A = this chain, B = another copy of it.
Amino acid sequence: MSGFGLTLMATDGAARRGRVETAHGAIDTPAFMSVGTAATVKAMTWDAVRSTGAQIVLGNTYHLMLRPGAERVASLGGLHRFTGWDGPILTDSGGYQVMSLAERCTIDESGVTFASHIDGSRHHLTPERAVDIQRQLDADVTMVLDECTPFPATHDAARLSMERSMRWAARCREAFVARAGYGLFGIVQGGVYPDLRAASVAALTGIGFDGYAVGGLAVGEGQQTMLEVLDATVPLLPAERPRYLMGVGRPEDIVAAVRRGVDMFDCVLPTRSGRTAQAFTRRGTLGLRNRRHLHDERPVDDSCACPVCRQHSRAYIHHLFRAGEMLGPMLLTWHNLHFYQAVMATLREAIGAGRFEAVATALERDLALGDIEATVDPLAGRNGADG
Q: List 11 A-B contacts (CB under 8 A).
A: A45-B331, A47-B311, A66-B387, A69-B386, A71-B386, A77-B297, A82-B319, A84-B311, A84-B312, A121-B383, A326-B330
List 20 other contacts, CB 8 Å, given A40-B326, A76-B315, A84-B311.
A38-B319, A40-B320, A42-B325, A43-B326, A44-B327, A45-B307, A45-B330, A65-B385, A66-B387, A67-B322, A70-B386, A72-B295, A75-B378, A75-B379, A76-B316, A77-B297, A119-B385, A122-B387, A133-B386, A326-B329
- Tell me the residues in window 51-107 of chain A with beta carbons closer than 8 Å to chain B beta carbons: 63, 65-72, 75-77, 82-84
Contact A67 B384 (CB under 8 A): yes
* A323 to B82 alpha-carbon distance, docked (Å): 14
- Tell me the residues in window 321-371 of chain A with beta carbons closer than 8 Å to chain B beta carbons: 322-323, 325-327, 329-331
Contact partner of A72 among B67, B84, B125, B384, CB < 8 A?
A: B384
The smallest C-beta distance from A129 to any residue of chain B, in angstroms, reads 7
Across the two chains, which residue of chain B brings its CB closest to A310? Answer: B84
Across the two chains, which residue of chain B brings its CB closest to A48? Answer: B45
Contact B65 A327 (CB under 8 A): no
* A63 to B379 alpha-carbon distance, docked (Å): 19
> Is A46 an interface residue when CB atoms closer than 8 A count as contact?
yes
Known pairs A67-B322, A68-B319, A384-B69; A76 contacts B40 (CB<8 A): no
> Is A123 an interface residue when CB atoms closer than 8 A count as contact?
yes
Contact B326 A72 (CB under 8 A): no
> Is A155 an interface residue when CB atoms closer than 8 A count as contact?
no
The smallest C-beta distance from A260 to any residue of chain B, in angstroms, reads 35
Known pairs A76-B295, A76-B313, A315-B82; A327 contacts B42 (CB<8 A): yes
- Tell me the residues in window 279-323 of chain A with beta carbons closer than 8 Å to chain B beta carbons: 294-295, 297, 307, 311-313, 315-316, 319-320, 322-323
Contact A124 B387 (CB under 8 A): yes
> Is A39 an interface residue when CB atoms closer than 8 A count as contact?
yes
Residue of A84, A125, A133, A307 contacting most chain B CB atoms (<10 Å)? A84
Across the two chains, which residue of chain B brings its CB closest to A43? Answer: B326
> Is A29 an interface residue when CB atoms closer than 8 A count as contact?
no
Contact B84 A121 (CB under 8 A): no
List the B side residues contacting A42 at CB < 8 Å: 325-327
* A84 to B45 alpha-carbon distance, docked (Å): 20
List the B side residues contacting A315 at CB < 8 Å: 68, 76, 82
Across the two chains, which residue of chain B brings its CB closest to A311? Answer: B84
> Is A116 an interface residue when CB atoms closer than 8 A count as contact?
yes
List the B side residues contacting A124 at CB < 8 Å: 387
* A116 to B383 alpha-carbon distance, docked (Å): 13
List the B side residues contacting A311 at CB < 8 Å: 46-47, 84
